[in-house]
Structure 1
Amino acid sequence: MKTVILQSHTENALTPWLRGCLSSVEAWAARVGADYCFLGDELFSHIPRWVQEKVSPQTVIATDLARLRLMQHALRDGYDRVVWLDADMLIFAPERFQLPDGTHAVGREAWVQQTHGSLKAYKKVHNAFLMTTTDDTFLPFYADAAERMLTRAQPPLVPQFIGPKLLTALHNMTELCVEERAGMLSPLALRAVLNGGGKAYEMTLEGHKVPPAAFNLSASYCGRASDGVCNTDADYAAVIEKLMAS
């Protein structure tokens, strides 16, 4: 099956640890025999200009739609299977990260945070990992629905408006195919990994049916306080080193 792996990020904003994440994905793409394509801001050429203008300054919303249109474009270009991974997605166990059977897949989110003084894990799905194929009927529906929602919505919009929020709602109604090995670390879970383990990381792992082989590291929280922790660039780099050695 002819496959391409897609990623994108503003190039002048790539930190060393983000480049490490990208390298892990590019190496994995070679391992599974897939083509690899990295885009900068030209990603946004795949969506109408009004989308960027309407959602500004929440560019993540524009990115959420642009990735879907880019994936559709890749299918039209002749690929049988297209995979999107966010730039802050780290594949730390490439030997276990196999693409699932089926026509589509989304990632698994087990988000651990403080709620009323105790840790709680919120089990959802995410779009930091997306897979589609030529036989997929979900991605066209999802992309068109997301754009229609943006047409009707009035700012300000939450960053997850057409991303994890919409995906999780659709999953709860239709039970999407979830790639359990493509997980996500909350700030508390990332700090737990940094400290060699802990309850937040354990709860994250418990939210997956199989052990994760890749994590989205939630770059938007880098340098930003959340749940009493503030993980720095150095912390992210150290976590990557620990995960790659695990």
Structure 2
Amino acid sequence: MKSIVYQSYRTHQVPDWIATCMQTVRAWADSHAFEYRFIDDAFLAYAPDWFRAKADGQICPTTDLARLLVARELLAQGYERAIWVDADLLVFAPEKLTLEVTADFAFCHEIWLFTDETGESQISHRVNNSISVFCKNNVHLDFFIDAALRIAQHRQHIGKLDIGTIFLSQLRSILPYPLLENVGILGPELMREISLEQARHLIDYARRLKAPLACANLCASLHGQTIQDIALEHSLYEDVVQRLLASRGEIINRFYLAPA
């Protein structure tokens, strides 16, 4: 299957850890003989001006739409499969990152861990598009594009997750579709524990996985914020990247429990 992996990010002031993430994706693509294409900030212009105005400078909803439009363009160019990968996704076990897609598109199973006001772990199961896969002649891509535009048209302001996680999760609640199970989504608590070599929340998280992780999205959109006294600064991201690469993900996967 003629496949292409595509990513986008700015070309100036690129954090070292983002550059590392993208290098791991490109190496993974090369190992599978997938073509690879990097798109600079011109990627954002795929979203109409009115859409970007309603997003009010937020990158997430703009890229949520742009990745769909570029996928359609790539498939029209003759590729049989277009694979979007977020720039902040780190591949630490490339041999485990296989795209066993049983339908003509796929997103990721997001297990989001957070702590409540009592300090207890809470888990939500959602859909994430940090890896988005679309195959040629699928009947769903145009629907996703149309839905994104319709959602935006009927709102004065487009929220950060409106076009991606919220819409895709709500859709799947009534229309089940396959998800990639080996893609992690690491929130602040998990990032801190990886950095400090702690395991309380990591154990809760890993035991809910349906497969060992091959990669993880590090949620760059939270960079610079302080959430529950966790400062999401450059040094934390750098440390987490290095620990995940050094352990090849075992810092999380060691707690995974395979189904009996």
Q: Report the TM-score when normalising by structure 2.
A: 0.90
Counterpart contact for 2:101–2:178, Cα < 8 Å: no
Residue in structure 2 matching 1:127, options 129, 139, 155:
129
Indicate the percent of aligned positions where both proteins have the same amino acid. 29
Counterpart contact for 1:113–1:227, Cα < 8 Å: no
Residue in structure 1 matching 2:144, options 142, 145, 160:
142
SS in 2 for 1:12: coil
Counterpart contact for 1:83–1:129, Cα < 8 Å: yes
SS in 2 for 1:175: coil
Structure 2 residue 166 is matched with structure 1 residue 165: yes
How many Å apart are 1:43 and its aligned residue?
0.7
Distance 1:125 1:207, change over 3 A: farther
Amino acid at match of 1:134: K
Counterpart contact for 2:116–2:122, Cα < 8 Å: yes
Question: Structure 1 unaligned runs (5+)?
Answer: none
Give the distance between the partners of 2:76 and 2:172, measured in 1 at CA: 26
Q: Where does structure 1 differ by over 6 angstroms across 4 or more consecutive aligned residues? A: none
- The residue that corresponds to 1:153 in the other structure is 155
Counterpart contact for 2:88–2:218, Cα < 8 Å: yes
Give the distance between the partners of 2:17 and 2:76, measured in 1 at CA: 33
- The residue that corresponds to 2:242 in the other structure is 241
Question: Structure 2 unaligned runs (5+)?
Answer: 248-260
- The residue that corresponds to 1:178 in the other structure is 179
How many Å apart are 1:71 and its aligned residue?
0.8
Counterpart contact for 1:123–1:207, Cα < 8 Å: no
Structure 2 residue 76 is matched with structure 1 residue 76: yes
SS in 1 for 2:114: strand
Give the distance between the partners of 2:11 and 2:208, measured in 1 at CA: 33
Counterpart contact for 1:81–1:132, Cα < 8 Å: yes
Give the distance between the partners of 1:30 and 1:140, measured in 2 at CA: 29
For these two proteins, the number of residue pairs brought into alignment is 245
Amino acid at match of 1:25: V
- The residue that corresponds to 2:40 in the other structure is 40
How many Å apart are 1:52 and its aligned residue?
1.1
- The residue that corresponds to 2:94 in the other structure is 94
SS in 2 for 1:176: coil
Distance 1:65 1:120, change over 3 A: same
Give the distance between the partners of 1:131 and 1:70, measured in 2 at CA: 12
How many Å apart are 1:135 and its aligned residue?
3.6
How many Å apart are 1:177 and its aligned residue?
1.1
- The residue that corresponds to 1:109 in the other structure is 110
Identify which range, 82-91 or 137-146, moves more after superposition: 137-146
- The residue that corresponds to 2:67 in the other structure is 67
Amino acid at match of 1:110: I
Give the distance between the partners of 1:172 and 1:97, measured in 2 at CA: 26
Identify which range, 74-83 or 232-241, moves more after superposition: 232-241
How many Å apart are 1:228 and its aligned residue?
2.2
Identify which range, 161-170 or 115-124, moves more after superposition: 115-124
Counterpart contact for 1:18–1:87, Cα < 8 Å: yes
Give the distance between the partners of 2:60 and 2:39, measured in 1 at CA: 15
How many Å apart are 1:244 and its aligned residue?
1.0
How many Å apart are 1:87 and its aligned residue?
0.4
Give the distance between the partners of 2:48 and 2:79, measured in 1 at CA: 24
Q: Report the TM-score when normalising by structure 1.
A: 0.95
SS in 2 for 1:37: strand
Give the distance between the partners of 1:171 and 1:13, measured in 2 at CA: 37
How many Å apart are 1:181 and its aligned residue?
0.7
How many Å apart are 1:13 and its aligned residue?
3.9
Amino acid at match of 2:45: S
Amino acid at match of 2:215: A
SS in 1 for 2:232: coil
